[in-house]
Amino acid sequence: MNFMNRHIADDGSALTVVDSPSPIADEGKWPVRYDSVEFVVICADIATILFAGFLSALLSPGGPPQAGLIQTFGYAAAAAVCLVYILKGRGLYRPTELLVLRSQVRGICLTWILLHVLAATVEMLDDNPSFFRGAGLFAVLGLASLIVQRCVARELLIKCFSGRRFARTSLVLITDQPPSSHAGLSEALAVLGYCVKGRFDLPAMGSDPGSRKQLSSRVIEHIRNSEVDKIVLEANPARWADLRAFISDLRVLPFPIMFVPVGAASELLRHPARSLGSAACLEIQPGPLTAIERASKRTIDIIGAGLALTVLAPFLAIAAVAIRLDSPGPILFKQRRCGFNGRVFSIRKFRTMHVLEDGSVIAQATPLDQRVTRVGKWLRRTSFDELPQLLNVLEGSMSLVGPRPHALAHDGQFDKLVRKYAFRRRVRPGLTGWAQIHGCRGPTPTATMVERRVEYDLWYIDNWSLRLDLAILLRTPLEVLRGRNAY
């Protein structure tokens, strides 16, 4: 049980001293501090990968000659360094992120597969098939071991949080918040293994420098007589001029000083810091995809569109001939559409109507529309008329999966109807999408239908993953066969 004594200083600021807990309170604690969780998991990843490399060398056909063992160990060490560097850059070693198993597995799989695809390419060019077989076994063992390790790490973290088993870290809290808020902060810190050894109340904003000097002197005196690991300063960033001078007084102490912002200005500091030349800045709104995710999605687009055009080339040729023989006019129909970030591009489709509308007013197709040609009915019914958009995917104006682009005339109308409609433009438009596999195809005559489609599109943008893209691509043919709203 903790015993707290509260003292009032001459300048009116209060000091609350928390006595050291009894030895019984430390029973059941694990020898890992919350601050060191990231370092421990990084070390565990490196050890896991090195062990997987050693095991793959032993299990490789022909036994483990010394040269092969050293080579495999070097390969494993390089893979470990690259994996840790990428995962750390994405923030996946933070304790709160380690609890989200789905994002951990996805991040590990994507990074691990990418590393080994690059390594396999290099090995094939180097013509070293024996080592490549060992690397393949290492890739499988390493990925399986990392996933198992993440499951174990998550369960251990849950036990640490729920049972308060983190090793104790002592700190001194200096705050300008009312005493009523102290209990909530102390409870939150206790879960992470932090023990508040003392609390000091900051003088009011604009107080005379003498009060600040008295407070800093008492803090220094208290800390020098206590076993403290760090100092936490909790205050409103609006009074930074006073805080900077106070922190300067505490620089004589050999302990880290952590600043916890409170108040309205603290919302800004929750955003990640970035650099803009020599200026420091905050990223208020991040892009929907990271650089690695954009590269992965673009790779799938290029490979998928290229393979589809190659396989479907005979059928595309037959459709082109049928369109030419059925009615006068061009084979392909081009129309201006609104794409990524509002950029205008020309979408390609097989011509299915007698008219080529691309003006300020465009009438959407209706059942039994007289503008549709005989061949066009079959093309629209099977969505085969959309396949020339694979060329748009190759050139980069579209993606295989994403929100469907609308004509410029309709885009302006929908933007006025739905408040968040413009958010769809944060990613490249797609040949198919999350809305389309849920039946949102064809015309949108009512505001409700537009809102429903936008809701699906925004959900896709907020929850994007390669797995989701593959699921949409697999479900698209089934939706085409159902033929909902296709005319």
309 has a pLDDT exceeding 90:
yes
Residue 301 — very low, low, confident or very high, per pLDDT cuts 50/70/90? very high
The pLDDT assigned to 487 comes to 54
Instruction: Read off the pLDDT of each residue in 78-86 and give the average, rounded to a whole number.
Output: 90
| pLDDT-wise least confident of 9-13, 202-206, 400-404, 443-447 | 9-13
Which domains are seen in the chain, by residue range? Answer: 4-23+168-265 (3.40.50.11460), 34-163 (no CATH), 291-482 (no CATH)
Residue 12 — very low, low, confident or very high, per pLDDT cuts 50/70/90? very low
- Tens digit of each residue's pLDDT (9 = 90 or more) over 371-382: 888 888 888 888
Instruction: Read off the pLDDT of each residue in 270-291 and give the average, rounded to a whole number.
Output: 79
The pLDDT assigned to 65 comes to 58
**Averaged confidence pLDDT in the chain:** 80
The pLDDT assigned to 9 comes to 44
26 has a pLDDT exceeding 80:
no
The pLDDT assigned to 6 comes to 42
The pLDDT assigned to 10 comes to 43
The pLDDT assigned to 28 comes to 59
Residue 362 — very low, low, confident or very high, per pLDDT cuts 50/70/90? low
Instruction: Read off the pLDDT of each residue in 170-192 and give the average, rounded to a whole number.
Output: 72
The pLDDT assigned to 19 comes to 42
- Tens digit of each residue's pLDDT (9 = 90 or more) over 317-346: 999 999 999 888 899 989 888 888 888 999
Better pLDDT: 212 or 49 = 49
The pLDDT assigned to 133 comes to 56
Instruction: Read off the pLDDT of each residue in 433-460 and give the average, rounded to a whole number.
Output: 85
The pLDDT assigned to 407 comes to 81
Better pLDDT: 160 or 133 = 160
Residue 398 — very low, low, confident or very high, per pLDDT cuts 50/70/90? very high
Instruction: Read off the pLDDT of each residue in 180-194 and give the average, rounded to a whole number.
Output: 68
17 has a pLDDT exceeding 60:
no
148 has a pLDDT exceeding 90:
yes
SS (H, E, C) the chain: CCCEEEEECCCCCEEEEECCCCHHHHCCCCCCCHHHHHHHHHHHHHHHHHHHHHHHHHHCCCCCCHHHHHHHHHHHHHHHHHHHHHHHHCCCCCHHHHCCHHHHHHHHHHHHHHHHHHHHHHHHHHCCHHHHHHHHHHHHHHHHHHHHHHHHHHHHHHHHHHHCCCCCEEEEEEECCCHHHHHHHHHHHHHCCEEEEEEEECCCCCCCHHHHHHHHHHHHHHHHCCCCCEEEEEECHHHHHHHHHHHHHHHHCCCCEEEEECCHHHHHHHCCEEEECCEEEECCCCCCCCHHHHHHHHHHHHHHHHHHHHHHHHHHHHHHHHHHHHCCCCCEEEEEEECHHHCEEEEEEECCECCCCCCCCCCCCCCCCCCECHHHHHHHHCCHHHCCHHHHHHHCCCEEECCCCCEHHHHHHHHHHCCCHHHHHHCCCEEECCCHHHCCCCCCCCHHHHHHHHHHHHHHHHCCCHHHHHHHHHHHHHHHHHCCCCC
195 has a pLDDT exceeding 80:
no
Highest average pLDDT, of 8-17, 87-96, 233-242, 414-423, comes from 87-96
- Tens digit of each residue's pLDDT (9 = 90 or more) over 247-269: 888 888 888 888 888 877 777 77
| pLDDT-wise least confident of 61-65, 111-115, 175-179, 337-341 | 61-65
Residue 58 — very low, low, confident or very high, per pLDDT cuts 50/70/90? confident
The pLDDT assigned to 183 comes to 62
